[in-house]
A and B are shown apart, each in its own frame.
Chain A
Amino acid sequence: MAISLRIRKRQTPLKLQSGLVLAGALVLSLALSALLLKLQGKPAGQAMLVIFQGAFGSLWALEDSLIKAVPIFLCSLGVAVAFRLQIWNIGAEGQYALGAVGASWVALSFPSLPWYLLQPLMLAAASVTGGLWGLIPAVLKLRMRTNEIIVTLMLNYIAILFLDYLVYGPWKDPRSFGFPMTRQFDTAAVVSKIGESNLNWGILVCVAAGVIFWIFFRFTRYGYEIKAGGENIRAARYARIPYDYLVMLVMVLSGALAGWAGFLEVSATVNRLEPSIMVGYGYTAIVVAWLARLNPLFIGVASLLLAGLRVGVEQLQLDFQVPAAFGQIMEGLILLTVLAGGFFVNYRFYLGKKD
């Protein structure tokens, strides 16, 4: 007789305990990160403290984390809309880039408009460009049965290269000493700061978007249809739910929300279009959406945490000469442990006897 490890599906998935599983997964990812630091000969415990303090330890740090959380939140909310229909939009990065391009075009083309016309116009343009960039993979999926994961991913590179082309080429500021960037936006095109803080009103856009998202999925017909269609496409077709239309709808909404993130980034944070806005928010957003199980409130919390991780790792770089990629490694570890932890929500291990 030998003891063997067996796996069995749970009769009912974990409910409350799944929070514990999540916490356990996060702790495990931090422990693995600490181990990696240790192997590099860095003081692991101290480094973890530096990350935390660098992210949330001061008002300035907290503000910085919140500012970085805004684009992550909007992109994540966007991919969550698509994920609810089980459409795997990996293209928030590209949709964000196109949103930034759309907003920048308005800012550069209509500099004389007052802010209360210019900024809504920038927002609208970002929605259209981001949304259209999301619509392309949806149409390809429906018409030609392409895989949206591949197409959205590839479109990211096209979008980023298009952005590069603009700032290296036609939109380049003649007075930029050769740097790839547009000229700085006029103040009317810049979303203003809240009072004395470094935060801008983009935070409010996030809150509004989160609330609308919640209402949309809880109380509206399309929200219901997306939920039902995502769970069971055959039932959706049986119930005459317009599945193809919903695929296009979620991809446009998804792209538009990522576009909003692009708009806020160029307008409020950078005040111009430049390649440095492409720092992987669109990919972090996917991690966030998974961590938060597509729930808007949790997406807010997880966005702040992962934005804090970015800010904290910057501090770690300064203090301990850790490479910048370490932040991405930690992000990847978090996603992996949480995905692995999700397994325990539906399955359990037990020891069995074997002949």
Chain B
Amino acid sequence: MENGPPSDPVLRLSGICKSFGATEANRDIDLDVFAGEIHAILGENGAGKSTLMSILAGRYRPDRGTIHLKGRPVHFANPAQALAAGIGMVYQRFMLVESLTVTENILLGLGRGRLRLDMARAEGEIREFAGRYDLQIDPSQTVSRLSMGERQRVEILKLLYRRAQILIFDEPTAVLSPPEIETLFGILRRLRDLGHTILFITHKLEEVMTLATRISILRRGEMVGSFAAGQVRSRRELARRMVGREVLLEVERPAVTRGETVYAVRDLTVQDAAGRPLFEDVALSVRRGEILALTGVAGNGQGPLTAALAGLLPDVSGQVEFLGRTWAASRWPRAPRGGMVYIPEDRHATASVPELSLVDNFLLTRLGRYRRGPLLALSQARRETVRALAAFDVRAPAGPDTTARQLSGGNLQKFVLSRELAGRPALIIAEQPTSGLDIGATEEVWQTLLAQRRHAAVLLVSGDLREVLSLADRVAVMFRGRIIETVSARDPRQAARVGLLMAGIRD
């Protein structure tokens, strides 16, 4: 397919429009998909990629426009109809029943009109099927015991078992470790070789460059271009087409002299209700003027550890040292923590109260500053909110009276930062600060965190390798509840090992 004019498209979308209320998610989109290609749907967050693919998979119905499959017009009222026509989608959140086995999950909803279920036979069938596609998976295994990569393979198998020819993936690498990503890419290429057509949604340029044979770019609900991968010269060019303006891929990191150790923990351990350790013997320290990144594949203990570091987890053993004072970790949740701010991953439901105004949300963590006896200095809070919105360029339709719910993800994150950084903190714990943000907002958040090094120590918790390596001075990698190694991010040889360390490989 590299040379010669492509034949008729297997799928042709024309004039697809879809609105949600006042938001136009897709505007007049044309897209041709050819048999046997790996087609990347690239775009920033909110560009309309997921909506378009969900229309294709029968989950949404377009307001206008037509879909032609092999030259014939098709209308899908639901995902089952799309699947019957050979189009299936693997969603970002897997649709699996964790307490059932792989085979049970695959058979679920298949309803083949037989009363008796011959599980052993079905299992054999699926085993043979998995072998044909070289998908390493044990059909008798319970899904809850599988890794994210294995679960994804179950989803793929589910679609193949239903005879899907066209497979759509929504951000398939988001939950995978670097080695698992390699495996996935191998699987996708093999599927392509066996005659399947692959569509995948992503905003990661590297994935597009390594995997795609054809690239379509969406920007703000519109299709801005569709071309063969060979026509793209560089990542930079791709980024420009995606964002519509020049994007710095390398972050400038002005040198900052390191100061004293602001925050350190030793021997942090905590167990869940069943007595299994969530994390064990964790030690780390961070100095003023540096960014320490804590990274790992999701589910290796970073979540609970971050909660413990921020003082939100009870019953932790070990010690915490903050601004020269030492606490037993069990007492840390009740310790006065002036000077420390925590920017949680869940900005929508933890860092803010969706139904309240931005003034009220500004008060949330700054209540102490506005207390006047029993009353609150509301007009002062309002003035400072307005100033913070301006300083961080938060686009709020009704200014300080906007509710938090009305802000987009990027603006909400900037608002949270404006609130948390208003008091010149000595320690910033930022958890996945750019997850779900587009490149523009991501860059602003990065610049903000880098600038904070002048007076603060920054602990960055992130699973995004590029973010970690762009921002951090040192990287602590978590694997199965332990920090298996802390490496310098400024030494290229060390930095190159982080991906393997995330998979638990110390070589």
For residue B141, CB closer than 8 A to chain A, the reply is no
Who on chain B is nearest to A9 by CB? B21
- Rounded to whole angstroms, the CA-CA distance of A237 and B371 in the bound complex is 19
Structural contact, B375 and A219, CB atoms closer than 8 A: yes
B351 engages A355 (CB within 8 Å) = no
By DSSP majority rule, is chain A's interface helix, strand, loop, or mixed? helix
Let me know if A220 and B21 touch, CB within 8 A: no
Cα A222 to Cα B354 with chains together (Å) = 19
Residues of A within 8 A of B210 (CB): none
With an 8 Å Cβ cutoff, the count of chain B residues facing the other chain is 27
Encoded as 1 (CB less than 8 Å from any A CB) or 0, chain B from 328 to 362 comes to: 00000000000000101010011111111000100
- Contact: B349 with A234, CB < 8 Å? yes
**Closest B residue by C-beta to A229:** B353
Known contacts A224-B363, A227-B360, A228-B356, A238 near B344 by CB under 8 Å: yes
**Roughly how many angstroms separate A355 CA and B349 CA in the complex, as a whole number?**
38
Set of chain B residues within 8 Å of A241, measured between Cβ atoms: 367
Q: Is the CB of A220 within 8 A of B374?
A: yes
Give the top 7 A-B pairs by smallest Cβ distance, nearest first: A11-B21, A232-B353, A239-B364, A231-B353, A239-B365, A234-B350, A238-B350
Q: Does chain A have a CB within 8 A of B75? A: yes
Query: Chain A residues with Cβ under 8 A from B346's Cβ?
Result: 234
Of chain A, the residue at the smallest CB distance from B375 is A219
* Min CB–CB distance B62 → chain A (angstroms): 14
Q: Is A164 an interface residue (CB 8 A)?
A: no
Taking A221-B371, A224-B367 as contacts, is the C-beta distance between A238 and B356 under 8 angstroms?
no
Give the residues in chain B near A240, CB-CB below 8 Å: 365
Residue of B nearest to A215 (CB): B375
- Tell me the bound Cα distance from A270 to B65 in angstroms: 73
Question: In the assembly, what is the distance between CA of A225 and CA of B350, in Å?
Answer: 15
B77 on the A face (CB < 8 A): yes
| Inter-chain contact B374/A227, CB cutoff 8 Å | no
Interface set, chain A 281-323, CB cutoff 8 A to B: none
Question: Is B84 on the interface with A (CB-CB < 8 A)?
Answer: no
Given contacts A221-B376, A228-B360, A232-B353, contact A238 B312 (CB under 8 A): yes
Q: Are A238 and B376 in contact (CB under 8 A)?
A: no
A235 in the interface (beta carbon within 8 A): yes
28 contacts between A and B (CB under 8 A): A11-B20, A11-B21, A11-B22, A220-B374, A220-B375, A221-B371, A221-B375, A221-B376, A227-B360, A228-B353, A228-B360, A231-B353, A231-B355, A231-B356, A234-B349, A234-B350, A235-B350, A235-B351, A235-B352, A235-B353, A237-B312, A238-B312, A238-B344, A239-B365, A240-B365, A241-B367, A354-B77, A355-B75
Say yes or no: B349 contacts A225, CB within 8 Å.
no
B378 within 8 A of A: yes
Q: In the docked arrangement, what's the CA distance between A221 and B371, Å?
A: 7
Find chain A residues with CB under 8 A from B360 CB: 224, 227-228
A200-229 at interface with B (beta carbon < 8 Å): 219-221, 224-225, 227-228
How many angstroms between the C-alpha atoms of A220 and B374 in the bound complex? Answer: 6
Are A238 and B378 interface neighbours, CB within 8 A?
no
Contact assessment for B75 and A238 in the assembled complex, using a CB-CB cutoff below 8 Å:
no
Partner of A232, one of B22, B349, B374, B375: B349
Q: Select which of A219, A228, A355 is within 8 A of B77 by beta carbon.
A: A355
User: Would you call A225 and B376 a contact (CB within 8 A)?
Assistant: no
Give Cα A95 to B21, complex, Å.
46
Query: What separation, in Å, do the CA atoms of A235 and B352 have in the docked complex?
Result: 6
| Cβ contact within 8 Å between B349 and A235 | yes
Q: 8 Å CB contacts to A: which residues of B279-328?
A: 312
Evaluate contact between A232 and B354: CB separation under 8 angstroms.
yes
* A residues apposed to B, CB below 8 Å: 11, 219-221, 224-225, 227-228, 231-232, 234-235, 237-241, 354-355
B367 contacts A225, C-beta separation under 8 Å: yes
Which residues of chain A are within 8 angstroms of B352 by Cβ–Cβ distance?
A: 232, 235
- Min Cβ gap B378→A in Å is 7
Tell me, in angstroms, the Cα distance from A14 to B280 when the chains sit together. Answer: 51
Instruction: List, in ascending order, chain A residues with CB within 8 A of B354's CB.
Output: 231-232
- Cβ A239 vs Cβ B374 within 8 A: no
CA A241 – CA B374 in complex, angstroms? Answer: 16
A227 to B356, Cβ gap below 8 A?
yes
Q: How far is the CA of A239 from the CA of B360 in the complex (A)?
A: 12
Q: Which residues of A contact B376 (CB under 8 A)?
A: 219-221, 224
The docked-state distance in angstroms from the alpha carbon of A221 to that of B367 is 7
Q: If A221-B371, A221-B376, A355-B77 touch, does A235 touch B364 (CB 8 Å cutoff)?
A: yes
Residues of A within 8 A of B356 (CB): 227-228, 231
Q: Return A230 CB to nearest CB of chain B, in Å.
A: 9
Residues on the A chain within 8 Å of B363, using CB:
224, 228
B149 to chain A, nearest CB (A): 30
List the A side residues contacting B365 at CB < 8 Å: 238-240
- Residues in A with CB closer than 8 Å to B374 are 220-221
Complex interface bits, B185-229 against A, C-beta within 8 A gives 1, otherwise 0:
000000000000000000000000000000000000000000000
Closest to B76 in A: A355
10 further interface pairs, Cβ-Cβ under 8 Å (given A11-B21, A224-B363, A228-B363): A11-B20, A219-B375, A221-B376, A224-B360, A224-B367, A227-B356, A228-B364, A232-B350, A238-B312, A238-B365
A239 CA / B77 CA spacing, docked (Å): 45
A166 to B77, CA, bound (A): 67
* Residues of A with C-beta under 8 A to B77: 354-355
State A77–B488 Cα separation when bound (angstroms).
Answer: 60
CA distance A354 to B75 in the complex (A): 12
In the complex, what residue of chain A is closest to B381 when comparing beta carbons?
A224
The smallest beta-carbon distance between A75 and chain B, in angstroms, is 25
Q: List chain B residues, Cβ under 8 A from A231.
A: 353-356
Q: Which residues of A contact B22 (CB under 8 A)?
A: 11
In the complex formed, the residue of A with least CB distance to B20 is A11
Docked complex Cα distance between A282 and B77 (Å): 50
Q: In the assembled complex, how far is the CB of residue A85 from the closest CB belonging to chain B, in whole angstroms?
A: 13
Bound Cα distance from A307 to B360, whole angstroms: 36
Partner of B367, one of A219, A232, A234, A239: A239
Assembly CA distance A241 to B350 (angstroms): 12
Give min CB distance, B369 to chain A, whole Å. Answer: 11
- In whole angstroms, what is the CA distance A238 to B349 when docked? 10
Contacts of B375 in A (CB 8 A): 219-221
Q: How far is the CB of B66 from chain A (nearest CB, A)?
A: 15
A11 vs B21: C-alpha distance when bound (angstroms): 6
Contacts of A219 in B (CB 8 A): 375-376, 378
CB-CB < 8 A to A221: which residues of B?
Answer: 367, 371, 374-376
Query: Which chain B residue shows the least CB distance to A232?
Result: B353
> Which chain A positions have C-beta within 8 A of B367?
221, 224-225, 239, 241
Nearest Cβ in chain A — how far from B160, in angstroms? 28
**Cβ contact within 8 Å between A238 and B371:** no
**A227 to B378, alpha carbons, bound, how many Å?**
15
Proximity string of chain B (228-264) to chain A, C-beta cutoff 8 Å, 1 when within and 0 when not: 0000000000000000000000000000000000000
Complex CA gap A72/B120 in Å reads 66
Which residue of the partner chain, among B20, B21, B351, contacts A238 with CB atoms under 8 Å? B351
The residue on B at minimum CB distance from A11 is B21
Distance in angstroms between the alpha carbons of A289 and B352 in the assembled complex: 27
- Bound together, the chains give a CA A227 to CA B360 distance in angstroms of 10
Q: Which residue of A lies closest to B81 (CB)?
A: A355
A268 to chain B, nearest CB (A): 30
Return A14 CB to nearest CB of chain B, in Å: 14
| B407, chain A: closest CB distance, angstroms | 14
